[in-house]
Structure 1
Amino acid sequence: MWRTTWRNLLAHKVRLALSGLAIVLGVAFVVGTLIFTDTLSKTFNDLFRSTAADVNVTRAAAFDQGLEGTGTGGTATYVPAELVDEIAEVDGVAAVEGNVQAEGVYILDADGEVLDTGGAPGIGISWDTEESLSPTTLVDGRAAAGPGEVMIDTNSAEETGFRVGDTITLLTPGPRVEAELVGTFRFGDSGGLAGASLTAFDTATAQELLSEPGQFTGIGVGAEDGVDPDVLADRVAAVVGSDYDVKTASEQAESLSADFSEALQFINIFLLVFAGIALFVGTFIILNTFSMLVAQRTRELALLRALGASRGQVTRSVLGEALVVGVVGATVGLAAGYGIAAGLRALFGSFGLTLDGTLVLATDTVLWGYAVGVLVTLVSAYVPARRAARMPPVAAMRDDVVHVQRGLRRRTALGVVLSLAGLAALVGGTLSDDGGTGASLVGLGALALILGVTALSPVLAQPFLRSVGAVLPRIWGTTGRLAQENAVRNPRRTAATASALMIGLALVSAFSVIGASTNASIDSLIAGSVRAEYIVSSAVGQPFSPDVAEEVGDVDGVAAVMPLRWGQAQLDGQTSLLTGVDPDALPRTVELSWVDGSAEGLGGDGVLVDQPTAEGRGWAVGDTVEVLTLDNRQEQLTVSGIFETNQVLGSTVVSIDTLAGAGGVEQDRFLFVDLADGTSPADVRPQLDEVLDAYPIVNLKDQTEFQDEQKGQVDQLLLLINAMLVLSVLIAALGIVNTLAMSVIERTREIGLLRAVGLGQAQLRRMVRLEAVIISVYGAVLGLVLGTLFGVALSRSLADQGITELAVPYPRMAVFLLVAALIGVLAAVFPARRAAKLQVLDAIARA
Structure 2
Amino acid sequence: MRRATLRSLLAHKLRLALSAVAIVLGVAFVAGTMIFTDTLDRTFTDLFESTASDVAVTPEGGAEGIDGPAGTLSVPGTLVGQVRAVDGVAAAEGYVQAQGVYLLTPAGEVLDTGGAPGIGISWTSAPGLDTGELTAGRAPERAGEVALDSGSAEEAGYAVGDRVTLLTPGPRVEATVVGVFTFGEDGGLAGASLTAFDVATAQQLTGVGDGFSGIQVAAAEDVSHDELADRVVAAVGDGYTVQTAQQQADEQSAALEEGLSFITVLLTAFAVIALFVGSFIILNTFSMLVAQRTRELALLRALGAGRGQVTRSVLLEAVVLGVVGATVGLAGGFGIATGLRALFGTFGLTLDGDLVLSADTVVWSYAVGVLVTVLAAWVPARRAARTPPVAAMRDDHVAVERSLRRRTAFGVALVAVAAGALAGSVAAGDSGHAPALVGVGGLALVLGAVALSPVLARPVVRVLGAPLPRLAGTAGRLARDNAQRNPRRTAATASALMVGLTLVTGFGVLGASANASVDALVDDTVRADYVVSTAVGQPFTPEVADRLRQLPEVDAVLQQRFTQVRVDGQSTFAAAVDATTLDRGLALEYVAGGSDGLAGRGLLVDETTAAERGWEVGDTVAAESAGGQPTELTVGGVYAANQAVGSMVLSLDTDAALGGPALDRYVYVVLADGTDAAAARAALETVVDAYPVVGLKDRDEFAGEQKAQVDQVLLLINALLVLSVLIAVLGIVNTLAMSVLERTREIGLLRAVGMDRRQLRRTVRLEAVLISVYGAVLGLGLGLVLGVGLTRALADQGITELVVPGGQLAGFLVLGALIGVVAAVWPARRAARLQVLDAIATA
TM-score between both structures, scaled by the size of structure 2: 0.98
Q: Distance in 1 between matches of 2:590 and 2:536?
A: 34
Conserved 8 A contact 2:72-2:206: no
Q: Distance in 1 between matches of 2:126 and 2:219?
A: 13
The one-letter code sitting in structure 1 at the alignment partner of 2:572 is S
Conserved 8 A contact 2:330-2:365: yes
Q: 1:447 aligns with which of 443, 446, 452?
A: 443
Q: How far did 1:68 drift?
A: 4.7
Q: Which residue of 2 aligns with 1:108?
A: 104
Deviations 1:764-821 (A, max 9, x none): 1111011001100000010001101110111012112111111000101111111111
Q: Which residue of 2 aligns with 1:522?
A: 518
Aligned residues: 843
Deviations 1:528-551 (A, max 9, x none): 111100001113431001111101
Q: How far did 1:76 drift?
A: 5.9
Q: Which moved more, 1:71-80 or 1:150-159?
A: 71-80
Q: Which residue of 2 aligns with 1:744?
A: 740
**Within the alignment, does 1:475 sit opposite 2:474 as a pair?**
no
Identity of paired residues, percent? 63
The one-letter code sitting in structure 2 at the alignment partner of 1:570 is R
Q: 1:150 aligns with which of 146, 166, 169?
A: 146
Q: Distance in 2 between matches of 1:724 and 1:447?
A: 18
Matches within 5 A, 1:370-449: 370-434=366-430, 436-449=432-445
Matches within 5 A, 1:202-221: 202-221=198-217
Q: Which residue of 1 aligns with 2:700?
A: 704
Q: Which residue of 2 aligns with 1:9?
A: 9
Q: Which residue of 2 aligns with 1:735?
A: 731
Conserved 8 A contact 1:626-1:635: yes
Q: 2:655 aligns with which of 659, 682, 686?
A: 659
Conserved 8 A contact 2:65-2:252: no
Q: Distance in 2 between matches of 1:656 and 1:281?
A: 53
Q: Distance in 2 between matches of 1:468 and 1:194?
A: 53
Residue 436 of structure 1 aligns to a residue whose secondary structure is coil
Q: Distance in 2 between matches of 1:211 and 1:377?
A: 62
Q: Which residue of 1 aligns with 2:314?
A: 318
Q: Distance in 1 between matches of 2:91 and 2:404?
A: 79
Q: 2:239 aligns with which of 226, 229, 243?
A: 243
Q: Which residue of 1 aligns with 2:47?
A: 47
Q: Which moved more, 1:621-630 or 1:478-487?
A: 621-630
Q: How far did 1:174 drift?
A: 1.2
**Within the alignment, does 1:551 sit opposite 2:547 as a pair?**
yes
Q: Distance in 2 between matches of 1:75 and 1:755?
A: 81
Matches within 5 A, 1:21-40: 21-40=21-40
Q: Which residue of 1 aligns with 2:690?
A: 694
Conserved 8 A contact 2:438-2:789: yes
TM-score between both structures, scaled by the size of structure 1: 0.97
Q: Distance in 2 between matches of 1:205 and 1:455?
A: 68
**Within the alignment, does 1:679 sit opposite 2:675 as a pair?**
yes
Q: Which moved more, 1:286-295 or 1:774-783?
A: 286-295
Q: CA RMSD in A?
A: 1.6
Q: Which residue of 1 aligns with 2:842?
A: 846
Q: 1:617 aligns with which of 591, 607, 613?
A: 613
Deviations 1:276-303 (A, max 9, x none): 1111111111111111111112222222
The one-letter code sitting in structure 2 at the alignment partner of 1:651 is S
**Within the alignment, does 1:795 sit opposite 2:791 as a pair?**
yes
The one-letter code sitting in structure 2 at the alignment partner of 1:277 is I
Q: Distance in 1 between matches of 2:509 and 2:393?
A: 56
Deviations 1:603-655 (A, max 9, x none): 22221111222222222222222212222222221222111121111111111
The one-letter code sitting in structure 2 at the alignment partner of 1:235 is R
Q: How far did 1:13 drift?
A: 1.6
Q: 2:753 aligns with which of 754, 757, 779?
A: 757
Conserved 8 A contact 2:123-2:131: no
Q: Which moved more, 1:447-456 or 1:246-255?
A: 246-255
Q: How far did 1:135 drift?
A: 3.6
Q: How far did 1:70 drift?
A: 8.8
Q: Which moved more, 1:176-185 or 1:356-365?
A: 176-185
Conserved 8 A contact 2:27-2:326: yes
Residue 132 of structure 1 aligns to a residue whose secondary structure is coil
Q: Distance in 1 between matches of 2:68 and 2:507?
A: 29
Q: Distance in 2 between matches of 1:72 and 1:499?
A: 48
Conserved 8 A contact 1:430-1:794: no
Conserved 8 A contact 2:70-2:99: no
Matches within 5 A, 1:156-305: 156-305=152-301
Q: Distance in 1 between matches of 2:614 and 2:220?
A: 55
The one-letter code sitting in structure 2 at the alignment partner of 1:801 is Q
Q: How far did 1:131 drift?
A: 4.2
Residue 128 of structure 2 aligns to a residue whose secondary structure is helix
Q: Which residue of 1 aligns with 2:59?
A: 59
The 1:136/1:340 distance shift into structure 2, 3 A limit, reads same
Q: How far did 1:435 drift?
A: 5.5
Q: Distance in 2 between matches of 1:623 and 1:243?
A: 27
Residue 696 of structure 2 aligns to a residue whose secondary structure is strand
Deviations 1:21-41 (A, max 9, x none): 111101000101111111111
The one-letter code sitting in structure 2 at the alignment partner of 1:289 is T
Conserved 8 A contact 1:107-1:171: yes
Conserved 8 A contact 1:415-1:455: yes
Conserved 8 A contact 2:83-2:232: yes
Q: Distance in 1 between matches of 2:464 and 2:678?
A: 56
Residue 832 of structure 2 aligns to a residue whose secondary structure is helix
**Within the alignment, does 1:128 sit opposite 2:119 as a pair?**
no
Q: Distance in 2 between matches of 1:82 and 1:816?
A: 67
**Within the alignment, does 1:809 sit opposite 2:783 as a pair?**
no
Q: How far did 1:71 drift?
A: 5.9
Q: Distance in 2 between matches of 1:341 and 1:654?
A: 43
Q: Which moved more, 1:677-686 or 1:639-648?
A: 677-686
Unaligned runs of 5+ in 1: none
Q: Distance in 1 between matches of 2:490 and 2:842?
A: 25
Conserved 8 A contact 2:91-2:217: yes
Q: How far did 1:343 drift?
A: 2.0
Q: How far did 1:207 drift?
A: 0.6
Q: 1:346 aligns with which of 338, 342, 345?
A: 342
Conserved 8 A contact 1:69-1:102: no
Residue 158 of structure 2 aligns to a residue whose secondary structure is coil
Residue 632 of structure 2 aligns to a residue whose secondary structure is strand
Q: 1:645 aligns with which of 633, 637, 641?
A: 641
Q: Which moved more, 1:260-269 or 1:219-228?
A: 219-228
Q: Distance in 2 between matches of 1:455 and 1:75?
A: 57
Q: How far did 1:674 drift?
A: 0.9
Q: Which moved more, 1:504-513 or 1:565-574?
A: 565-574
The one-letter code sitting in structure 2 at the alignment partner of 1:260 is L
The one-letter code sitting in structure 1 at the alignment partner of 2:582 is L
The structure 1 segments of at least 4 consecutive aligned residues displaced by more than 4 Å after TM superposition are 67-76
The one-letter code sitting in structure 1 at the alignment partner of 2:510 is I
The one-letter code sitting in structure 1 at the alignment partner of 2:699 is Q
Deviations 1:728-754 (A, max 9, x none): 111111100100011000000000001
The one-letter code sitting in structure 2 at the alignment partner of 1:47 is L
The one-letter code sitting in structure 2 at the alignment partner of 1:627 is A
The one-letter code sitting in structure 2 at the alignment partner of 1:319 is L
**Within the alignment, does 1:86 sit opposite 2:51 as a pair?**
no
Q: Which residue of 1 aligns with 2:556?
A: 560
Residue 584 of structure 1 aligns to a residue whose secondary structure is coil
Deviations 1:348-400 (A, max 9, x none): 33444332221110001100101111111111111111111111122244111
Residue 502 of structure 2 aligns to a residue whose secondary structure is helix
Residue 542 of structure 1 aligns to a residue whose secondary structure is coil
Conserved 8 A contact 1:75-1:568: no
The 1:423/1:149 distance shift into structure 2, 3 A limit, reads same
Deviations 1:711-736 (A, max 9, x none): 11111111110001110111111100
Deviations 1:276-335 (A, max 9, x none): 111111111111111111111222222222222222221111111111111111111000
